[in-house]
Structure 1
Amino acid sequence: MRQNPSFAFTDTAELRRVIAEHPWVTLVSHTDDGLVASHYAVLLDEDRDDLTIVGHVGRPDDMIHGLGERELLVVVQGPHGYISPGWYGDVASVPTWNFVSIHLAGVPEILTPEENLDVLERLVERFESSMPTPRPMWEAPNDPDFVRKLERGTVGFRLTPTRVVAKRKLSQNKSDEVVDTVIAELEAGGSPYADHRLAGEMRRAHDALRSAREGRA
């Protein structure tokens, strides 16, 4: 991912927030047979305060990726969307795409079956907790044999990244007036490109920039 100082994204707390809010990721490995990619949900490691993540793959994806034996790239995709040049006013301009992306790379550690069960339980809890009637992993009609059979069909992993590349391209190179207009357009109900999550990310980024400018004043 090409980096640009204007769009650098390095704040660990903000990176953790984006990962937590966008857990569906892409796993990429370079193998003897070429590049392979898979898609799974991950969680931040609750025992760490860095960018360590935990997750699992279904067998045989562990063998396909060579999980634990080679570097794994995890691509986290935050909010993204089309930005029309018409939102910049009557000036020469072209369309662009605003986005938030994080790349985490490192050699993952393979979890024990008990650790994997804990991660699977956390994943279920993470998403079921928003349901009107949550279904915890261990509750009936699931029984322990069913759950452990499920676990044996997966391989859990923990990845502490040795390389992190993150980019938050959210019109930081535009004036405050243009940014406010773009945010308003993204929040407009009638726009085909309306996206409240992308508007929220823009607001967070520009509030931070404005605070930094005021601090230097």
Structure 2
Amino acid sequence: MMTDIAELRRLIELNPWVTLMSAGPDGLVASHYAVLLDDTRDDLTIVGHVGKPDDAILGLGERELLVVVQGPHGYISPSWYGDVAAVPTWNFISAHLSGIPEILTAEENLMVLDRLVDRFERGMPHPRGMWERPNDEAFVQRLASGTVGFRLTPSRVVGKRKMSQNRSSDVVDTIIAGLEGTGVHTNEPLATEMRRARLRGVDA
């Protein structure tokens, strides 16, 4: 299990595209949206929005919501273990945040939408904020009215990180080299997470 709040916050910050799931009267339902850490808190509270009618489908604010955050993951070949009996596996880092979300006011939702745009525009050559021309207030307000903002302070958190911690340092080096190679399973983001996990001495 991964319980370090700072590591879980880092996971959410770097992997904002999440899966939202709930159990409705007709069975399980899922949606996919970007979320942000609540910038007024230092815990695992997240903020985001859904488009209508996903708020009703998910029972937003009424039923428990499960938010799945998926970090880098990938196939690990048994050939990287050397001449020993072995089977393939999959390395990954993920977190599940559960709780009943709070519905944001229209003003709070606008602030979250503004933050979301800025979060992803900031790396553009010419960032374009939500309020910049040719957008005007009427346009922004009309789009925002089709969304419902939420804040989730999870009542339960399950974080998992599987990075070949049970293997020797030499084998981990070989796996990282394989992930950084030019083969079919090249995966630099996973290699980076494996290096980080080893430097931090994590167990899970």
Taking structure 1 as the reference length, the TM-score comes to: 0.92
The match for 1:193 is 185
Report the 3-state secondary structure (helix = DSSP H, G, I; strand = E; otherwise coil) of the residue aligned with 1:197: helix
Report the 3-state secondary structure (helix = DSSP H, G, I; strand = E; otherwise coil) of the residue aligned with 1:141: coil
The match for 1:171 is 164
Task: Return the match for 1:18 from 11, 30, 46.
Answer: 11
Task: Return the match for 1:70 from 51, 63, 69.
Answer: 63
State the Cα deviation string for residues 46-78 of structure 1 (Å, max 9, x = none): 000000000000000000111000100000000
Equivalent runs, 1:126-145 vs 2, <5 Å: 126-145=119-138
Q: In 1, Cα distance between the equivalents of 2:111 and 2:144?
A: 10
State the Cα deviation string for residues 154-195 of structure 1 (Å, max 9, x = none): 00000000000010011011111101110111111x111111
The match for 1:148 is 141
Equivalent runs, 1:1-217 vs 2, <5 Å: 8-188=1-181, 190-209=182-201
Report the 3-state secondary structure (helix = DSSP H, G, I; strand = E; otherwise coil) of the residue aligned with 2:131: coil
Q: CA deviation at 1:111?
A: 0.2
Q: In 1, Cα distance between the equivalents of 2:6 and 2:135?
A: 36
Q: In 2, Cα distance between the equivalents of 1:12 and 1:203?
A: 19
Q: Which residue type is aligned with residue 120 of structure 2?
A: F
Q: CA deviation at 1:207?
A: 1.0
Taking structure 2 as the reference length, the TM-score comes to: 0.98
Q: In 2, Cα distance between the equivalents of 1:57 and 1:26?
A: 11
Q: Which residue type is aligned with residue 44 of structure 1?
A: L
Q: CA deviation at 1:206?
A: 1.0
Indicate the RMSD between aligned Cα atoms, in angstroms. 1.0
Q: In 2, Cα distance between the equivalents of 1:87 and 1:157?
A: 44
**Count of aligned positions:** 203
Q: In 2, Cα distance between the equivalents of 1:60 and 1:172?
A: 43
Q: Which residue type is aligned with residue 87 of structure 1?
A: W
Q: Which residue type is aligned with residue 43 of structure 1?
A: L
Structure 2 alignment gaps of length 5 or more: none
Q: Which residue type is aligned with residue 202 of structure 1?
A: M
State the Cα deviation string for residues 18-63 of structure 1 (Å, max 9, x = none): 1000000000000111000000000000000000000000000000
Report the 3-state secondary structure (helix = DSSP H, G, I; strand = E; otherwise coil) of the residue aligned with 1:193: coil
Q: Which residue type is aligned with residue 184 of structure 2?
A: P
Report the 3-state secondary structure (helix = DSSP H, G, I; strand = E; otherwise coil) of the residue aligned with 1:204: helix
Q: CA deviation at 1:208?
A: 1.4
Report the 3-state secondary structure (helix = DSSP H, G, I; strand = E; otherwise coil) of the residue aligned with 2:60: coil
Q: In 2, Cα distance between the equivalents of 1:179 and 1:206?
A: 9
